C-alpha cells in the first residue's frame, strides 16, 4: 500500500506550512518517501500544478513520472465507479460537473484501483452539497483517507534544523508549571 497525495497536500504545503525556503526538510522528506514507492501522486495532479510557473511547478517537473503516476486501465474503471457514485448523490449539479473534471476524482480512483490511501488537507463534510470533498467520497467507497498532519506524524516525519534534534519540551515545561503552582500557593 502507498499514499497518494492530492493537489491540496502539495499546494497548501508550499503556500502555508512548508514553503520551499521555510522548510526544505518537508520536500526532502517527500522525495525520500517517494524513492521508496510509498508516497506518490498522479499525472492529473502534476497537470494542475503546471498551470502556474513557480517553485512547486519546478519541483513537480523534477519529480517526474515515477512520482506522478499515469492512469492505467484499472484506474479508468475505478474512475467510472467514483463518478457514478458522485452523480447518484444529492450534490448540486455544478458540484458534480466540477468534480467530474477535477484531479481529485482521479486521485480517489487511483487509490481505489491500487489499494492505496489518499492523503489530503480536505475535511469530510457530508452536509456540504456545493463541493464534493475527497474524504466524503473516500468514506462512501471504502477508500482509506488520511488528513495530512496526523499522517505526517504517523509516518514519523521530522523536519529539524541542521545538527539539531528536538528539545524535550515536556522537561522544560514541567519545572515552569511547578514554579508557577508554588508561586500561587
Given a cut of 60, whether residue 1 has pLDDT beyond it is yes
- Identify whether the C-beta of residue 45 lies closer than 8 Å to the C-beta of residue 6: yes
Supply the mean pLDDT for the chain. 90
| 38-70 core/surface letters (b: 16 or more CB in 10 A; e: else) | ebbbbbbbbebbeeeeeebeebbeebeeebbbe
- Compute the distance between CA of residue 105 and CA of residue 87 in angstroms, rounded to an integer: 12
CATH pick for 3-184 out of 3.40.50.10800, 1.10.1060.10, 1.10.3660.10, 3.40.50.1010 = 3.40.50.1010
pLDDT over 70 for what percent of the chain? 88
Handedness of CA 10, 15, 18, 24 (dihedral sign): positive
List C-alpha distances in Å: 54 to 48, 57, 122, 129.
12, 5, 23, 32
pLDDT digits (tens, 9 = 90+) for 136-146: 999 999 999 99
pLDDT of residue 76: 97
Q: Which of 2-6, 44-48, 153-157, 171-175 has the lowest mean pLDDT?
A: 171-175
- Identify whether the C-beta of residue 151 lies closer than 8 Å to the C-beta of residue 119: yes
Given a cut of 50, whether residue 150 has pLDDT beyond it is yes
pLDDT digits (tens, 9 = 90+) for 52-86: 999 999 999 999 889 999 999 999 999 999 999 99
Confidence of residue 160 (pLDDT cuts 50, 70, 90): confident
pLDDT of residue 113: 98
Averaged pLDDT, 30-55: 96
Given a cut of 70, whether residue 180 has pLDDT beyond it is no
Given a cut of 60, whether residue 185 has pLDDT beyond it is no
Q: Where are the alpha helices (DSSP H) in 36-168?
A: 43-49, 55-67, 73-87, 93-100, 103-114, 134-141, 148-154
Sheet holding 68-69, edge to edge: 68-69, 39-42, 3-5, 117-120, 145-147
The residue written with cell numbers 484531479 in the block is: 103
Fill in the DSSP letter of residue 38.
S
pTM of the model: 0.86
pLDDT of residue 168: 55
**Could you state, in order of their start, the residue ranges of all structural domains in the chain?**
3-184
Amino acid at each position: 500500500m502507498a499514499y497518494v497525495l492530492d493537489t491540496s497536500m502539495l499546494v497548501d504545503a508550499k503556500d502555508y506550512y512548508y514553503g520551499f525556503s521555510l522548510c526544505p526538510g518537508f520536500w526532502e522528506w517527500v522525495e525520500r518517501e517517494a524513492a521508496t514507492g510509498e508516497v506518490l501522486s498522479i499525472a492529473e495532479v502534476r497537470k494542475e500544478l503546471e498551470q502556474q510557473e513557480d517553485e512547486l511547478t519546478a519541483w513537480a517537473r523534477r519529480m517526474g513520472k515515477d512520482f506522478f503516476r499515469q492512469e492505467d486501465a484499472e484506474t479508468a474503471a475505478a474512475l467510472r465507479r467514483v463518478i457514478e457514485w458522485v452523480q447518484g448523490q444529492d450534490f448540486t449539479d455544478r458540484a458534480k460537473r466540477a468534480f467530474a473534471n477535477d484531479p481529485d476524482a482521479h486521485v480517489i480512483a487511483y487509490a481505489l484501483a491500487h489499494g492505496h490511501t489518499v492523503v489530503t488537507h480536505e475535511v469530510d463534510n457530508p452536509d456540504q452539497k456545493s463541493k464534493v470533498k475527497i474524504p466524503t467520497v473516500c468514506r462512501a467507497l471504502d477508500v482509506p483517507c488520511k488528513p495530512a498532519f496526523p499522517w505526517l506524524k504517523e509516518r514519523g516525519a521530522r523536519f529539524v534544523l541542521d545538527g539539531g534534534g528536538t528539545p524535550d519540551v515536556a522537561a522544560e515545561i514541567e519545572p515552569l508549571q511547578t514554579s508557577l503552582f508554588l508561586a500561587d500557593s
